[in-house]
């Protein structure tokens, strides 16, 4: 791969995966907390799809960081800091990605029992955050043509 080039195909595949996950979550996420509690295994599927989508967001950030040689991260936060410092993704969107990662950590590691009320609220909020992230990445990719 040529220095400074970006693996557009990898990023675009991951964006498609994010959109697929979000569509499945949107199709199955009820509007009320009470209905959310009744979902049983579907609720776990929603959590899992959100985990996959967040992993794809973090992977996209890592691909850009690596391909542009923005710096060797010693921690996950370093990747996000590099993208912000390089002006690739603005700090507000980076903040949203950090919150996504926090939600993913709760789902993956199941720190105690997941607070379904908080998770329900975060699910509705974060669906919009993904759209903002995708727009930022697509704008960055268009600017590199």
What end-to-end distance do the CA atoms of the chain give, in Å?
16
Rounded to two decimals, the pTM is: 0.91
Distance from C-alpha of 122 to C-alpha of 45, rounded to nearest angstrom = 16
| Those residues with Cβ within 8 angstroms of residue 79's Cβ, 6 or more apart along the chain or in another chain | 58, 61, 62, 65, 73
Distance from C-alpha of 134 to C-alpha of 40, rounded to nearest angstrom = 30
pLDDT of residue 92: 95
How does pLDDT run across 89-128, given as a tens digit for each residue? 999 999 999 999 988 888 887 655 778 888 898 888 888 9
Q: What is the topology classification, in CATH, of domain 8-143?
A: 1.20.120
The larger pLDDT score, comparing residue 106 to residue 9, is at 9
pLDDT of residue 119: 87
How does pLDDT run across 22-71, given as a tens digit for each residue? 999 999 999 999 999 999 899 989 999 999 999 999 999 999 999 999 99
pLDDT of residue 143: 86
SS3 percent helix, strand, coil of the chain, rounded to 5, is 75, 0, 25
- Given a cut of 80, whether residue 145 has pLDDT beyond it is no
pLDDT of residue 111: 53
């Amino acid at each position: 791969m040529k220095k400074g080039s970006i693996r557009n195909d990898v990023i675009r595949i991951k964006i498609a995966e994010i959109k697929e996950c979000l569509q499945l979550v949107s199709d199955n996420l009820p509007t009320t907390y009470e209905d959310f509690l009744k979902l049983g295994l579907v609720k776990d599927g929603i959590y899992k799809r959100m985990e996959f989508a967040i992993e794809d967001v973090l992977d996209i950030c890592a691909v850009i960081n690596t391909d542009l040689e923005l710096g060797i991260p010693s921690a996950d936060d370093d990747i996000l800091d590099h993208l912000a410092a390089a002006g690739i993704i603005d700090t507000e969107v980076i903040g949203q990605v950090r919150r996504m990662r926090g939600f993913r950590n709760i789902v993956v590691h199941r720190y105690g029992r997941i607070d379904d009320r908080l998770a329900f609220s975060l699910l509705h909020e974060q669906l919009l955050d993904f759209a903002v992230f995708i727009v930022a990445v697509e704008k960055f990719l268009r600017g590199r043509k």
